[in-house]
Amino acid sequence: VLTDEKGRMLFCSPAEPASCADITHARQLGLVKHLVDGPAVEILADAGYQGLGAQTGGRVVTPPHRKFKKNPPDWYEEIHERQRKAHSSRRIHVEHGIAHLKNWRALARH
């Protein structure tokens, strides 16, 4: 699902019969190619799209990837949490748009 900055739905991909990772589905639909070749827009994505930013020239922005999995330094935890919250705060309208679809069960029929 793609929404604008106010949470209004712009695009909803067709449903697939089997489970598929979000990033794989986006590639199969050709959305990644459209992002690379299209106008310079910023897409705020969730962690399921990690790595897509490099493929799209920075157009896809995902939450920060955790650099230290075990025993991170104290300073790192604070920085990582601040970056994660900043991304989440910018992306909240997208989440509200998706939640609106789910609350009204609009996606259950398709």
67-87 per-position pLDDT tens digit: 887 888 888 888 989 999 999
Separation of alpha carbons 58 and 18, rounded Å = 30
The pTM score is 0.74
DSSP secondary structure code for residue 1 in this structure: -
CA atoms of 100 and 110, how far apart (whole Å): 15
pLDDT, position 110 = 54
Domain layout of the chain by residue ranges? 2-103
Q: Computed over its alpha carbons, how large is the radius of gyration of the chain?
A: 16
Query: CA angle, 9 as apex, 37 and 103 as ends, to 5°?
Result: 145
Q: What is the pLDDT of residue 109?
A: 58
Are 49 and 41 in contact by the 8 Å Cβ rule? The answer is no
Asked whether 107 and 12 are in contact (CB, 8 A), the reply is: yes
How much of the chain exceeds pLDDT 90, in percent? 13
